[in-house]
């Protein structure tokens, strides 16, 4: 891995700045060594960032949509140009395998930028409606808070929509992954310079949620809040937004089912479901962590699960052979193992895994893939998001039971339905998918990152609002009806 700079600074006016309060170390999840740091932005820095963003918005919102789209396309080109460095930065910060970082933190965000640019060109910014003319405009200054697990993608999903709509952004990234945010902010400034746009379109203020995040979400100068993270933190963001009447988009996680229909080919489906459930060591909000199968084939499913998990290679994130990297921090690894211990205490049975820190690598915060069976539907491991390489098998009796199990969760973010793939089988799968309460339901192996313009988000404890596509762009706008 390439060495990171000693400090990830704040970015204001397109320039990196080193001032701030408390130091927060960035520790490699693989080597367990300090690889960098950031400093806490206090209220004064946040206020400066918001004021700068306000001035940038006032200029940017008057720029034609086609010109805003051109800036997004330039930003996509720059991200591709620096893709190797961006992927390496993410992998160093949070342990994602380098090949996965290239796919999800460079290729996917690049396609999101280009799809958002296309939508920016074609959206009806002005249109007649029922005796009025509707004018859509950028909402204003957007406060964005992003997580560590898919850091660049989450930044771009928010920033692309905001810039396309004519907004400016103040971003607080996770203190675990501050460096990639600096890279993206400097690329935005570079793209802005190419197009003569304001240098302050994207400000970055580093720090923790309780200090910098609180200063940002409570700032009265924001017009939108957008947040991805835990349910508990999301409630705090929503409360802060309510105090200033600032609308918020919240993406708070999931407990996603993969419902395998009776006619599906298990030898094809089980590896695919495990791939989506264990991606990024299970540190993905839409990971399929509940595997629903006909009860009569659970024995066969368990055999296939064991065989597939044996193919997972844990190791150095920079090694192309590594399929699963470490968890992001020691504390997070211990939380995940605590969930496994709780599941065993609830009567669960280990199909794979040990429920202890992995001994495969010898260092780093690794957990062997864990698959659990025999848990009641109300067990904590079935109901709560674990955010690690832990999956639960659930047998169902018939399709009504299967749909009931799939919907038996406070989350409503994502789901999968698997069939034999024939025309008749797919018709059944589509009908079942329509019965599942989730923001996205993917049939027969479609992946979220293959469809960057499809809206993403959920309901219940998964939050509210949508990112990506037309719906994500509209989240960043206000509507004026002019009647004459």
Give CATH for domain 10-252+463-483. 3.40.605.10
Q: Of 275, 282, 258, nearest to 441 (Cα)?
A: 258
pLDDT of residue 447: 87
Q: What is the 3-state secondary structure (H, E, C) of the chain?
A: CCCCCCCECEEECCEEECCCCCEEEEECCCCCCEEEEEECCCHHHHHHHHHHHHHHHHHHCCCCHHHHHHHHHHHHHHHHHCHHHHHHHHHHHHCCCHHHHHHHHHHHHHHHHHHHHHHHHHCCCEEEECCEEEEEEECCEEEEECCCCCHHHHHHHHHHHHHHHCCEEEEECCCCCHHHHHHHHHHHHHHHHHHCCCCCCEEECCCCHHHHHHHHHCCCCCCEEEEECCHHHHHHHHHHHHHCCCCEEEECCCCEEEEECCCCCHHHHHHHHHHHHHHHHHCCCCCEEEEEEEHHHHHHHHHHHHHHHCCCCECCCCCCCCCECCCCCHHHHHHHHHHHHHHHHCCCEEEECCCCECCCCCCCCCECCEEEECCCCCCHHHHCCCCCCEEEEEEECCHHHHHHHHCCCCEECEEEEECCCCHHHHHHHHHHHCCCCCCEEEECCCCHHHCCCCCECCEECCEECCECHHHHHHCCEEEEEEEC
Least confident stretch, 1-10, 131-140, 175-184, 225-234: 1-10
* DSSP string computed for 436-482: S-SSEEEETT--GGG-TTS-B--EETTEES-BSHHHHHHTTEEEEEE
pLDDT of residue 67: 98
Q: How confident is the model at residue 177 (pLDDT cuts 50, 70, 90)?
A: very high
Convert the pLDDT of each residue in 251-262 to its tens digit. 999 999 999 999
What average pLDDT does the chain have?
97
Determine what percent of the chain is predicted with pLDDT higher than 90. 98
Residues in the chain: 484
In the predicted model, is pLDDT for residue 118 greater than 60?
A: yes
pLDDT of residue 32: 97
- Our answer to whether residue 167 is catalytic in this structure is no
Convert the pLDDT of each residue in 220-233 to its tens digit. 999 999 999 999 99
- Our answer to whether residue 251 is catalytic in this structure is yes
Mean pLDDT on 79-105: 98
Convert the pLDDT of each residue in 199-214 to its tens digit. 999 999 999 999 999 9
Q: How confident is the model at residue 2 (pLDDT cuts 50, 70, 90)?
A: low
Q: Where in the chain is the domain with CATH 3.40.309.10?
A: 256-451
In the predicted model, is pLDDT for residue 481 greater than 70?
A: yes
Convert the pLDDT of each residue in 310-349 to its tens digit. 999 999 999 999 999 999 999 999 999 999 999 999 999 9
Q: Where in the chain is the domain with CATH 3.40.605.10?
A: 10-252+463-483
Mean pLDDT on 138-148: 98
Mean pLDDT on 75-103: 98
Mean pLDDT on 120-132: 97
Burial class of residue 141 in the structure, from the number of CB atoms within 10 Å of its CB (0-12 exposed, 13-18 middle, 19+ buried): buried
Convert the pLDDT of each residue in 72-88 to its tens digit. 999 999 999 999 999 99
In the predicted model, is pLDDT for residue 134 greater than 80?
A: yes
Of 285, 385, 467, 475, the active-site residue reads 285
Angle between helix 178-195 and helix 151-165 axes, rounded to 10 deg: 30
CA distance 56 to 141: 9
Of 40, 48, 93, 251, the active-site residue reads 251
pLDDT of residue 3: 86
Looking at 3.40.190.10, 3.40.640.10, 3.40.50.80, 3.40.309.10, the CATH number of the domain 256-451 comes to 3.40.309.10
Residues 6+ apart with CB under 8 A from 255: 289, 290, 382, 383, 384, 385, 409, 410, 411
Mean pLDDT on 98-119: 98
pLDDT of residue 1: 52
Convert the pLDDT of each residue in 370-426 to its tens digit. 999 999 999 999 999 999 999 999 999 999 999 999 999 999 999 999 999 999 999
Mean pLDDT on 349-360: 95
């Amino acid at each position: 891995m390439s060495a990171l700079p000693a400090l990830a600074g704040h970015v204001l006016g397109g320039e990196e700045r080193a001032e701030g309060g408390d130091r927060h170390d960035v520790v490699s999840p693989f080597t367990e060594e300090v690889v960098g740091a950031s400093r806490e932005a206090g209220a004064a820095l946040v206020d400066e960032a918001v004021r700068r963003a306000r001035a940038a918005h006032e200029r940017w919102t008057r720029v034609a949509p086609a010109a805003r789209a051109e800036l997004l396309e330039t930003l996509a080109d720059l991200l591709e140009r620096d893709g190797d460095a961006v992927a390496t930065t993410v992998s160093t910060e949070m342990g994602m395998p380098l090949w996965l970082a290239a796919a999800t933190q460079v290729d996917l965000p690049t396609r999101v930028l280009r799809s958002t640019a296309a939508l920016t060109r074609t959206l009806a910014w002005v249109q007649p409606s029922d005796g009025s003319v509707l004018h859509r405009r950028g909402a204003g200054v957007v406060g964005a808070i992003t997580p560590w697990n898919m850091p660049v993608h989450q930044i771009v999903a928010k920033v692309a929509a905001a810039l396309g709509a004519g907004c400016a952004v103040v971003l607080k990234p996770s203190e675990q992954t501050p460096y990639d945010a600096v890279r993206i902010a400097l690329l935005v400034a570079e793209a802005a310079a190419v197009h003569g746009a304001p240098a302050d379109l994207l400000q970055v203020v580093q720090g923790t949620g309780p200090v910098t995040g609180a200063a940002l979400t409570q700032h009265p100068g924001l017009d939108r809040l957008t947040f991805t993270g835990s349910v508990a933190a999301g409630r705090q963001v929503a409360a802060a937004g309510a105090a200033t009447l600032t609308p918020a988009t919240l993406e708070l996680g999931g407990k996603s089912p993969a419902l395998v229909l009776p006619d599906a080919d298990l030898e094809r489906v089980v590896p695919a479901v495990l791939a989506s459930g264990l991606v990024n060591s299970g540190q993905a909000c839409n990971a399929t962590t509940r595997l629903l199968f006909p009860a009569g084939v659970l024995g066969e499913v368990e055999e296939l699960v064991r065989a597939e998990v044996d193919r997972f290679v844990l190791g150095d994130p920079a090694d192309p052979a590594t399929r699963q990297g470490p968890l992001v921090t020691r504390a997070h690894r211990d939380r995940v193992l605590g969930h496994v211990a709780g599941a065993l205490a609830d009567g669960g049975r280990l199909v794979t895994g040990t429920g202890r820190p992995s001994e495969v690598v010898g260092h780093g915060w690794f957990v062997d893939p864990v698959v659990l069976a025999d848990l009641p539907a109300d067990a904590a491991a079935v109901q709560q998001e674990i955010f690690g390489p832990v999956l639960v098998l659930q047998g169902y009796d018939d399709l009504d039971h299967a749909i009931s199990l799939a919907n038996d969760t406070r989350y409503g973010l994502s789901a999968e339905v698997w069939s034999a793939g024939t025309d008749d089988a797919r018709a059944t799968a589509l009908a079942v998918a329509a019965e599942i309460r989730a923001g996205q339901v993917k049939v027969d192996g479609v992946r979220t990152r293959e469809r960057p313009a499809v809206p993403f988000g959920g309901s219940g404890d998964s939050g509210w609002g949508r990112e990506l596509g037309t719906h994500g762009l509209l989240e960043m706008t206000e509507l004026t009806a002019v009647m004459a």
